[in-house]
Structure 1
Amino acid sequence: MVNNHNQVSKKTINELWQRPRVLVFSVNVLLAWIVFFLATSGVSPFSTGAGIWLLAAIAYWLLVLITTPFFTPPKDSLATAISVVLLLVPIDFSGVLVFKSLLQSIQIVTIGISLAVALLALIAIFKQSGDKNSLLGKICYQLSDKLGKGEILFTPVVTISALGFYQENINWALLISGFWVLMVVLKPVELIVKIFIYFQELKNGEQKISETVGSVSRIDDPDIVRVVLTNGAKTWKNKKVHLIHLPNDEHALVLPLFIQMQGEEIIGTGLFSLTSEKPSFKTEAGGIYQYDRDGLATELINRLSGVSGDFEIVGLTVERSTIGNIRCQVVPGLELEKGMVMFANIRGKKVYYQILDAATGEESFKENPFGMHVVSAAQLGVYDPKNGFQKFPWLPDMNQPLFLVPENETPEQILEQNEFIIGKMPHTNFGVPIVLDDLIEYHSAVLGITGTGKTELVFDIVKNALDRGTKVFCVDFTGEYRPRLSTHNPEVVGLSTDQVKELESSLFAVETGNFGAKAERAALQKFLEKIKPEINAQVENFITDDKKRLGIFELAEITNTKATLRTTEMYLSAIMDWARENRKAKQILIVLEEAHTIIPEVYSSGFDADTQWIVGRIGQIALQGRKYGVGLLLVSQRTALVSKTILSQCNTYLTHSLVDKTSLEYLSGVYNSDHVQIIPNLGPREFLAHGKAVKSERPLVVRVDFDLEKLKASKALDRNINNGKQEITI
């Protein structure tokens, strides 16, 4: 207990908090003014040189007691020197009768010393901001610190005032000089206050002052504190809360973020929040202390984020952030991935951002540049359970913290009957809803290279559409749809083997016949007219039979490209003719697998007029289909090979990984540059979702959870195809 009391005594006697300092300053000024009033019968110290000593005393106490936390060496010496010069220069010695030359000499010498101190302090300040190891800077610092003390520079001012302007009453001159020595050397008022506080601490049984782990270097907006760590940064770790005693005598809780070296100093950066909670130990202004208990870090994070939950701090918003895309300096040790979601509290709103990219960076210091990771994240907006993500019109403040959305957080989602989830945002429970009506009415495209999961995504869309009563007509070039969707009892439509052979033969005859091939064209047209009623009947039978929901038109047996295009056009035209006559009686989704084969980009690609006409006809279906309840779902590996006339009609894009330049250039008209850059880096089962059917005003990175049953079904299909079999049950 004795040791504890000694600790309290030592700290209390050496230092005062800000409020007791103000009290000591006020009492000192009052006592000095009483002495001045009794000596001169005057009120204002500005009237004659007799009041210079009082002004000097006030300036000294102001610098020593009030501004000490704000003027660190050598800035305090600079302030003292300037104050002394301002007090001495205006003194008029014309009324001084005795010691005039001596006092003028003291004035000149003191002004000279003060100017020298000011110059030394300025050199030290500039050298410290540049090279902290500068020998000149260190010498100037030491000289200005020693010579610039208030006790040294203000004493000549008091001496000049007392001896020069109280010559009619030498007793007052001696009394004022003695009063100055008493107040500067013994500091009786300050000593009395310290002793009073000391006994109050003993009475209250307060603990000893805790050992600091550092001191406050500077405070940045908003709520960022930089500290000089003195304990080797042993406690400055993630979620280890600290306490700082601010210069204004308030306390704040600090959450450590970063550590970097500056010269020989270890600088810590943290987020702080003011607290009314008083520590159980004594603290000093400017000090920082280890201060942690169970749950305190979570409480502080919730206070900083503005919402309740178990969140991780991702980092701080840094320069070159925009409304649509922000940059964030990442807290070291945090494991992040593209697609992860974080949020910031902006104007009381929880605004979400999705990580798209990351880069290394370097924060420039005079010494020991600090390496860091900076993530780039696109704004998703404010989340609404019914409407999804809605754009937010502003961005976080500079240095504002961002928080990671935890995987165990399950947001509320309100889905209508025609809406379904196609995947989740990576490492979250945010399901991404698709509006089926918009997917069909405004046409859609699923893009991606082989092996990215686009066909599995299409299967999910088809199944959800079937479950909601939509007629789905799949034009399948791969032969995968019938076995993979066998549980939905697909209706297989198409030409017979003999009809396919006859069509291919007729088309070949047109290509190789005499100039103009009039006879061959007539024969082809006659054949088409012959099979058209059968095609119309197949289509009508499929659409009107409520038991038949899934129709599959397989093209695997057709080897001629023109035959593929011609038959596809005839079946799609038959669907359109029925839809036109029975306006929106049925909702029909047409899936074009390997769309680059079915609707190729014919212009400037060597295709003849007939092929261009056929693709143009399919393009008309895309343009007019939405009027009659018919929508297209294009599936392709490359946008470069797909008809842009038809692709441009798609208002919803589900884009898996693509690497070819042409596709990325085309998609730059669909997504902004930040999202286009992430497309080549998308992994298996990951895609960008954007458009009319996606319940989000901005693009989303979506991931489909791994499904072992889907993998087994896909491998089983490969084995069956290799063995010459086609049927498989999922």
Structure 2
Amino acid sequence: MLKNRFVVFGLFFAILMFLNYYFTQSLLPSPDTKNLWFYSGLFMMVFSILFIDPYYSSPKNVITNTIPLALTLIPIKDIFADTKIWWISFGVVITLLVAALISLVINDETKSENHVQNRLSVFLKNSVVLFGQGKVLYSLVFIASLLSYYSIQNDYTITLFFFWCGILLINPKSLTNTFSLTGKKLSTNAIGEVFSIQSKQVLLAKVFRDKTNVNKFDIVEFQYSTQDDHTVSIGFIFDTYFLNNEKWIKVLKLKNDIQQNADLNPNIIYKVSTQHNPHADLNIDKFVGVVVEGSNIENIRFEYSKQNENLEEGQLLVVAVGSKSIFYQVVEGITAIENLESKNESGFTCGEAIQLGEWQANQLSFIKYGWVPNINTPIFLAEQNFAINQYAYPEYQLGVIPGTNLPSVINLHDAVSHHMALIGVTGSGKSFLAREIINQLQTDTKVICIDFNNEFVTTLNPAPLPIINAATATQIATHIDWINNELDKFANQQDKPQIASRQENIKTLIKTEIDAFLDDQTSTIKVFELPDVSNTTGILDYTKYFFKVVFEVAKERLLAGNPVRICVAIEEAHTVIPEWNFAGSSDKTSQSLVNTISQIALQGRKYGVGFMIITQRTANVSKTILTQCNTVICFKAFDDTSFTFVGNHIGKELVKTLPRLKQYHAVVTGKAIKSNLPIIVDLKR
């Protein structure tokens, strides 16, 4: 556009010199005072129309024009043949100057726009900007000189008058696509010119002033000036902003087309008509943003720009790196401000996503990719439907990655043998998932539920029977009460042989019940209930005996060549394996029980015994046992202890998502999870 204005300015000089030579036989006007005044008015009018008026928007510009013009008029008053013309010219200039000053002085930003003072300021501003334009002021100089020094009957004067009229018809905004030194004419689809190339795929362009139909996600094409072939780059506008009263666009290149007769001016951006959808393969509707600074191998940051504002935490993104498709999962979104120039700022949204890696369909898992994508690499929302290979028990689908059918698969044998923890607040879905896993495990695993509140087991269908029948439980309770009463005596008064005998009886009674359950082909799940024991110490002793015998039975069967897989599901785990600070009054006995279960957690895997720990808060549960859980499924959580414990498994980025996880969404990780990486999973059924 600026080039075109210089072309018009040059044509003006050429025509003026031709007219002057035609009428006066001289290329340049004579240096008389009247000629200098006359031609300077004509020159300044053309210069103002082409290079000043397009940016004319403030009373300050009127002041800049009128002050030198007023100072110039004062000393030449006497040379005017008719002083009335001088007074009219001088009066107009002074009026515009005073009006511009008043509009600036009375403007009060502390008052509303509708206040009479500010309304008057706006009226004066609009008036002086309209009448104080260069083409108005310098036309006044031209006409005043014409009427004062030249005859209206003179052919040269009449010619210059019509020349002036023609100049007034120039519209600087229409000069955008008029001239080109290359001989090409810009098509009506040309919307802007490349200003800078920010990366291989992103460029910055300035929109032509006469283009108003430029919007985000418009498809565009362009050709670099450095390209000698006919390669045309295809992309779209992914961001727009205003700077210094000009519209700027960021263009993302997505592919190249080879067009033998591409009639495109280099470095000009052309809007592509989408009437016939010529570039449907661009997947603009799935575009999410571009990689920005601060990204690393583990997670990427991206500038968010999506056609439909529907991106959510946990959704799957894909980035093309060479021939590979690398997947990331959204974990965070933050707002930010970009400083453009001076005090200009542009707000935008920045997202964060953790790397899952390259999807391996045959393994139902992701393989980590060992590098970070280039800056400004485009990011897209992953497809919803993938081809999934078949799998069968002991592999089990926990759920899917949100927004897709990609499964999160767990190996239930590994989950049991290496222990598993389900953590989350009430109502988040942990007990529901535990029941589903238990139903699956009954295929080849004996399940023992420890639920002292009877809230969990009653929801199982059918409800499991007690692993120790009532009559046996009564006998065991009687023995425990007797032993505890005996131990309350002084050491020299205790019947130690009888204590040992009764302890063996307790173990025998429990072992008989456990063996019966393990040998029963019709029963795969039982519940361990507490008997009517006289005190808390007795309850803890009863529980400790039970866990010891379970471990011993599993060990004996393995050594005898008859191994069995046992899963002990502990609901409300803090009631069975509390942390020391929450053990209560029976501190020694609680520690003894926790030590017993800890020993099983450490060695149970060798003998087929594993735990499923279900708890609301990790703060209340023994860390000795929790740290042995190699598979963790964490639902919504709020306490710092859970964040610290789970953070060791899933990392600081995913920990931040725990308080805002949706119901039936969880972060899963660990040895038994096929993905090998922490991931947010939708567990809804």
Range class of TM-score, shorter chain: 0.5 to 0.7
For residues 622 and 497 of structure 2, what CA distance do their matches in structure 1 show? 28
AA aligned opposite 2:419 = H
The SS at the match of 2:393 is: coil
Specify the alignment match of 2:232 in structure 1: 251
The SS at the match of 1:575 is: helix
1:650 paired to 2:629: yes
CA contact (8 A) 1:477 1:554 kept: yes
For residues 521 and 265 of structure 1, what CA distance do their matches in structure 2 show? 96
CA contact (8 A) 1:209 1:282 kept: no
For residues 574 and 237 of structure 2, what CA distance do their matches in structure 1 show? 54
For residues 411 and 465 of structure 1, what CA distance do their matches in structure 2 show? 27
CA contact (8 A) 1:383 1:389 kept: yes
For residues 512 and 481 of structure 2, what CA distance do their matches in structure 1 show? 24
Specify the alignment match of 1:390 in structure 2: 367
Q: Quote the offset at 1:432 in angstroms.
A: 0.4
AA aligned opposite 1:548 = S
CA contact (8 A) 2:195 2:205 kept: yes
Q: 1:618 aligns with which of 590, 594, 597?
A: 597
1:287 paired to 2:280: no
Q: 1:542 aligns with which of 510, 517, 525?
A: 517
Cα 1:498/1:538, change in 2 over 3 Å: closer
Cα 1:260/1:562, change in 2 over 3 Å: farther
Cα 1:507/1:374, change in 2 over 3 Å: farther
AA aligned opposite 2:213 = K
Aligned residues: 497
How do 1:71-220 and structure 2 match up within 5 A? 209-220=187-198
Structure 1: runs of 5+ lacking an equivalent: 1-10, 16-72, 74-192, 199-206, 302-309, 708-730
For residues 186 and 240 of structure 2, what CA distance do their matches in structure 1 show? 29
Specify the alignment match of 2:282 in structure 1: 300
Specify the alignment match of 2:380 in structure 1: 403
Q: Quote the offset at 1:285 in angstroms.
A: 2.4
AA aligned opposite 1:361 = A
Deviation digits for residues 192-240 of structure 1, max 9, x if unmatched?
x999x78xxxxxxxx98334222212122121121212356634232x3
Deviation digits for residues 361-388 of structure 1, max 9, x if unmatched?
1112114311111111111111111330
1:458 paired to 2:417: no
CA contact (8 A) 1:233 1:266 kept: no
The SS at the match of 1:276 is: strand
CA contact (8 A) 2:289 2:380 kept: yes
The alignment yields a C-alpha RMSD, in angstroms, of 3.3
Deviation digits for residues 275-295 of structure 1, max 9, x if unmatched?
335499843222222213444
AA aligned opposite 1:469 = D
AA aligned opposite 1:456 = F
Specify the alignment match of 1:691 in structure 2: 670
Deviation digits for residues 436-458 of structure 1, max 9, x if unmatched?
12111211111112111110010
Q: Quote the offset at 1:697 in angstroms.
A: 2.2
Deviates more, 1:352-361 or 1:670-679: 670-679
CA contact (8 A) 2:221 2:234 kept: yes
Q: Quote the offset at 1:553 in angstroms.
A: 1.6
Deviates more, 1:568-577 or 1:397-406: 568-577
CA contact (8 A) 2:316 2:327 kept: yes
CA contact (8 A) 1:260 1:268 kept: yes
1:222 paired to 2:196: no
The SS at the match of 2:320 is: strand
The SS at the match of 2:642 is: helix
Specify the alignment match of 1:716 in structure 2: none
CA contact (8 A) 2:483 2:502 kept: no
Cα 1:673/1:560, change in 2 over 3 Å: farther
Cα 1:571/1:656, change in 2 over 3 Å: same
TM-score, normalized by length of structure 1? 0.63
The SS at the match of 1:365 is: strand
Deviation digits for residues 624-661 of structure 1, max 9, x if unmatched?
11111111111111112111111111111011122112
AA aligned opposite 1:331 = S
Q: 2:606 aligns with which of 612, 627, 634?
A: 627
The SS at the match of 2:649 is: coil
Specify the alignment match of 1:533 in structure 2: 508
Specify the alignment match of 1:347 in structure 2: 322
Cα 1:391/1:361, change in 2 over 3 Å: same
Specify the alignment match of 2:219 in structure 1: 241
CA contact (8 A) 1:311 1:405 kept: no
For residues 344 and 585 of structure 1, what CA distance do their matches in structure 2 show? 48
Cα 1:550/1:605, change in 2 over 3 Å: closer
1:316 paired to 2:293: no
The SS at the match of 2:648 is: coil
For residues 221 and 558 of structure 1, what CA distance do their matches in structure 2 show? 75
CA contact (8 A) 1:474 1:551 kept: yes
Q: Quote the offset at 1:475 in angstroms.
A: 1.2
CA contact (8 A) 2:634 2:646 kept: no
CA contact (8 A) 2:481 2:533 kept: no
Q: Quote the offset at 1:684 in angstroms.
A: 1.3
Specify the alignment match of 1:63 in structure 2: none
For residues 212 and 356 of structure 1, what CA distance do their matches in structure 2 show? 40
AA aligned opposite 2:250 = T
1:417 paired to 2:393: yes
Cα 1:521/1:405, change in 2 over 3 Å: farther
Q: 2:408 aligns with which of 408, 429, 432?
A: 432
Specify the alignment match of 2:680 in structure 1: 701
For residues 433 and 614 of structure 1, what CA distance do their matches in structure 2 show? 34
Q: Quote the offset at 1:353 in angstroms.
A: 0.6
Deviation digits for residues 383-419 of structure 1, max 9, x if unmatched?
1113301111111111111111133x23423424320
The SS at the match of 2:674 is: coil
For residues 334 and 443 of structure 1, what CA distance do their matches in structure 2 show? 41
Specify the alignment match of 2:555 in structure 1: 580
1:596 paired to 2:574: yes
The SS at the match of 1:269 is: strand
How do 1:438-453 and structure 2 match up within 5 A? 438-453=414-429
For residues 466 and 530 of structure 2, what CA distance do their matches in structure 1 show? 11
Q: Quote the offset at 1:274 in angstroms.
A: 5.0
AA aligned opposite 2:205 = V
Q: 2:544 aligns with which of 546, 565, 569?
A: 569
For residues 531 and 426 of structure 2, what CA distance do their matches in structure 1 show? 18
The SS at the match of 2:657 is: helix
CA contact (8 A) 1:447 1:655 kept: yes
For residues 534 and 303 of structure 2, what CA distance do their matches in structure 1 show? 56
Cα 1:424/1:557, change in 2 over 3 Å: farther
Cα 1:586/1:501, change in 2 over 3 Å: closer
For residues 443 and 436 of structure 1, what CA distance do their matches in structure 2 show? 10
Deviates more, 1:256-265 or 1:373-382: 256-265
Q: Quote the offset at 1:339 in angstroms.
A: 0.6
For residues 344 and 559 of structure 1, what CA distance do their matches in structure 2 show? 64
CA contact (8 A) 1:298 1:311 kept: no
1:473 paired to 2:448: yes
For residues 421 and 600 of structure 1, what CA distance do their matches in structure 2 show? 31
AA aligned opposite 1:318 = V
For residues 518 and 320 of structure 1, what CA distance do their matches in structure 2 show? 73
Specify the alignment match of 2:23 in structure 1: none
Deviates more, 1:519-528 or 1:331-340: 519-528
For residues 280 and 210 of structure 1, what CA distance do their matches in structure 2 show? 18
For residues 510 and 576 of structure 1, what CA distance do their matches in structure 2 show? 27
Structure 2: runs of 5+ lacking an equivalent: 9-50, 52-179
Q: Quote the offset at 1:619 in angstroms.
A: 0.9
TM-score, normalized by length of structure 2? 0.66
Specify the alignment match of 1:51 in structure 2: none
CA contact (8 A) 1:421 1:432 kept: yes
